[in-house]
């Protein structure tokens, strides 16, 4: 269904229309389609809804003001929740969506019944930080932002490339990075979802800015990847909210995207010698940072799924749905 608010029109994938609302929020370069099976698997007593974030799927490609961090997305969710008259939602956020639901939780704690994080982005954004406290490597956030993405991947995404002819094709990125094991049923379905990403400077990836420091890129002011930069998105005060809904953190042990040694982190790639000229900048310890923030928050549980990558809800659906359903019931 489509829901129009003052901010934009959002597409929402739905299941049954009664029960406690469970709002699923997808990750970067994907859409609500990645939650298809989770929406279908939710038991009676729950009302599943999976939203397309702005610039993804069938929602409007409104510009992303990166200087607000992820608040454009979380404010969209707040209007959606209000428009549908949802009372105290369960939030489920994957990757980028994990950051979005944490931003929503920080701003609207009383509106949240529970939170489930699935391989979420660090509360200190993506790239440009060091240590468990998320300190900036450089004041301008060098190492993060739209300039850190692969230009060939962006070009192929914009062209709607369904092939597997290049390591940077969306299909091969799905196989090598979204999943640990590439033999996923309905692969075409998920790749088509990736291709709904609106490629533009104001959406994905954003405006690229240069920096005099290695690796030569810094966050811009518009677009998805810049909204994830640590100069714009930081949640080190999550423990201050009241009330504190319970948080379940599910992650694949072998995730190569959100990791303490992420293959998408320029600092770690520099240490591996993939990006030349590295001065030895430490990798961003993304998992460690998330754990540090949740330890301060207090009311959370971490579950690690072995032999699983970035997408537990697709790679290990039975385990994921069992954990989610139990968490919803406990909440």
Q: Which domains does the chain have, with CATH numbers?
A: 2-330 (3.40.50.1820)
* pLDDT beyond 90 at 182: no
pLDDT, tens digit, for every residue of 285-306? Answer: 999 999 999 999 999 999 999 9
For residue 70, the model assigns a pLDDT of: 98
pLDDT in tens, 118-172: 999 999 999 999 999 999 999 999 999 999 999 999 999 999 999 999 999 999 9
Is 100 in contact with 73 (CB distance < 8 Å)? Answer: yes
Provide the pLDDT confidence category of residue 316 given band limits of 50, 70 and 90. very high
Query: Residue 67 region, left (φ>0) first, then alpha (ψ -120 to 50), else beta?
Result: alpha
Q: How far apart are CA 46 and CA 67, in angstroms?
A: 35
Predicted model pTM: 0.98
CA distances from 249 to 117, 146, 243, 255, 323 (A): 5, 27, 18, 14, 10
Residue whose entry in the numeric block shows the structure tokens 């698997």? 41
In what helix (H) or strand (E) does residue 14 lie, and over which residues does it extend? Answer: strand 9-14
Q: What distance in Å separates the CA atoms of residue 293 and residue 70, rounded to the nearest whole number?
A: 17
What are the start-end ranges of the E strands in 109-211? 112-118, 129-130, 135-136, 209-210
CA–CA dist 2, 118 (Å, integer): 25
Which candidate, 331, 327, 321, places its Cα nearest to that of 43? 321
């Amino acid at each position: 269904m489509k829901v129009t608010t003052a901010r934009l029109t959002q597409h929402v994938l739905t299941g049954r229309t009664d029960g406690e609302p469970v709002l699923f929020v997808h990750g970067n370069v994907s859409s609500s389609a990645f939650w298809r099976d989770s929406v279908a698997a939710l038991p009676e007593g729950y009302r599943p809804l999976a939203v397309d974030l702005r610039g993804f799927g069938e929602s409007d490609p409104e510009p992303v003001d990166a200087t607000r961090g992820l608040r454009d997305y979380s404010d969209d969710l707040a209007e959606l929740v209000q428009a549908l008259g949802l009372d105290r939602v369960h939030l489920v956020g994957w990757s980028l969506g994990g950051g979005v639901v944490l931003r929503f939780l920080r701003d609207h704690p009383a509106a949240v019944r529970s939170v489930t994080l699935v391989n979420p982005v660090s509360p200190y954004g993506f790239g440009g930080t060091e240590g468990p406290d998320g300190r900036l490597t450089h004041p301008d956030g060098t190492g993060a932002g739209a300039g850190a993405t692969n230009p060939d991947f962006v070009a192929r995404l914009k062209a709607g490339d369904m092939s597997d002819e290049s390591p940077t094709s969306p299909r091969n990125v799905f196989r090598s990075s979204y999943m640990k094991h590439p033999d996923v049923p309905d692969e075409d379905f998920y790749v088509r979802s990736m291709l709904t990403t609106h490629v533009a400077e104001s959406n994905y990836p954003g405006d690229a800015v240069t920096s005099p420091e290695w690796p030569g890129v810094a966050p811009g002011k518009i677009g998805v990847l810049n909204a994830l930069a640590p100069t714009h998105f930081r949640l080190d005060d999550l423990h201050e909210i009241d009330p504190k809904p319970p948080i379940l953190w599910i992650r694949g042990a072998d995730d190569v995207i959100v990791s303490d040694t992420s293959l998408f982190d320029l600092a770690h790639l520099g240490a591996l010698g993939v990006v030349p000229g590295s001065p030895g900048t430490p990798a961003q310890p993304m998992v460690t940072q998330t754990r540090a923030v949740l330890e301060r928050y207090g009311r959370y549980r971490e579950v690690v799924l072995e032999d699983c990558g970035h997408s537990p809800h697709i790679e290990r659906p039975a385990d994921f749905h069992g954990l989610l359903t139990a968490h919803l019931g406990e909440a």
